[in-house]
Amino acid sequence: MSTRVSVIIRTYNRAEYLRAAIESVLAQTYPDFELIVVDDGSTDSTRDVFAQYPDRLTPIFLAHTANQAAVMNAGVRCARGKLVAFLDDDDIWLPDKLQQQSALLDGDTRFGFVYGNAHLLYADGRLSAPVLAPDQIVRGSVLRALVRSMCVHTSTVVIRHAWFDRIGLFDESQHACEEYFFFLRLAQVTDAICAPEPVSLIREHAAKLSSGQGIATYVAAITALEMLLQNRALPWQVRLEAHRSIARHHTHVAKQLLELGQRDEARQHVRQALARFPLHRPAWRWAWRAFK
């Protein structure tokens, strides 16, 4: 592998954002990278965007899969770099992202991956404050922080390529939170380091999440944490955090189901939240609403 970093963008019908994502990679101060863009069967003008960069990127065209894990895996299989970085097609990298994060990995070989802080980018051009809380900026095991919340955003990550050989690719049987399943697996076997200053802009827009997708995301996160709990070697602090997070996710699902008028289903999730972590106060509040 002569290339230092393989950058993978997955895309589907996001031509209006894809150009900015590509330009942010090509503007990096770190020059030693290849750019792979995997198109999951787009039907918009995505190919016209590709045509503007004939010598700057490697396109991969798939028949539409609607499977984000499969799209990412197609890129990883083609990657030649010792490091692999990901960028969602509607997000943007800041110019020194690769320079800063590759240096962090070069500085200590015990870190299997690096992630970073980010700003949210709103439709009117405003930027949020940095999104990570102090306890989410980790140097060492990030597992407990990951269990508490998905603090590792894919568009901020650089991973040593060798870890894909050791733990496998993204799980294509998971159709929501596929990155969460992967990063929970990765964080069990290697330490991480976080770039504390923002390295990426995470775009917020109306098409990102419907209420149905929100419920599916919480349910998938519950499944991922249940799978994690099968590891009997988990530290007790991580195990406790997983139970608390499962209760919290069930409560979020119950809240959304009640808003949709699905009271019976909401009650089931409230029961599961309280069974998992009886001290979770929001679950009691939503139990009162669900059962009144």
Domains and CATH numbers, the chain: 5-207 (3.90.550.10), 211-291 (1.25.40)
Specify the pLDDT at position 119. Answer: 98
Q: Would you give the DSSP letter of residue 18?
A: H
Shortest CA distance to 114 belongs to which of 154, 69, 168, 68?
Answer: 154
Using CA atoms, how far apart are residues 225 and 177, in angstroms rounded to an integer? 11
Ranges assigned E (strand) in 99-223: 111-121, 139-140, 158-160, 191-203
Q: How far is CA 232 from CA 175, 188, 192, 244, in A?
A: 26, 12, 22, 17
Mean pLDDT of the residues in the chain: 94
Task: Record the tokens describing residue 14, joined without a space.
Answer: 């996001």
Q: Give yes or no for residue 227 having a pLDDT over 50.
A: yes
Which tens digits make up the pLDDT trace of 156-207?
999 999 999 999 999 999 988 999 999 999 999 999 999 999 999 999 976 6
Q: Give yes or no for residue 246 having a pLDDT over 70.
A: yes
Which tens digits make up the pLDDT trace of 60-99?
999 999 999 999 999 999 999 999 999 999 999 999 999 9
Using CA atoms, how far apart are residues 95 and 211, in angstroms rounded to an integer? 34
Specify the pLDDT at position 221. Answer: 96
Using CA atoms, how far apart are residues 117 and 136, in angstroms rounded to an integer? 9
Specify the pLDDT at position 290. Answer: 85
Using CA atoms, how far apart are residues 93 and 198, in angstroms rounded to an integer? 9
**How does residue 291 score in pLDDT terms, banded at 50, 70 and 90?**
confident
Which tens digits make up the pLDDT trace of 104-141?
999 999 999 999 999 999 999 999 999 999 999 999 99
- Pairing label, strands 83-88, 5-11: parallel
Specify the pLDDT at position 210. Answer: 46
Instruction: Name beta bridge partners: 11.
Output: 39
Give the Cβ contact number of residue 193 at 10 Å: 22
- Percent of the chain surpassing pLDDT 70: 97
Cβ–Cβ < 8 Å for 131, 120: yes
Cβ–Cβ < 8 Å for 170, 177: no
Cβ–Cβ < 8 Å for 237, 265: no
Specify the pLDDT at position 56. Answer: 95
Which tens digits make up the pLDDT trace of 197-212?
999 999 997 665 444 5
Average pLDDT over residues 23-27: 98
pTM of the model: 0.93
Long-range contacts of 63-66, Cβ-Cβ distance < 8 Å, separation of 24 or more: 64/12, 64/40, 65/40, 65/41, 66/40, 66/175
**How does residue 1 score in pLDDT terms, banded at 50, 70 and 90?**
very low
CB neighbour list of residue 256: distance below 8 Å, 6 or more residues apart? 211, 214, 215, 218
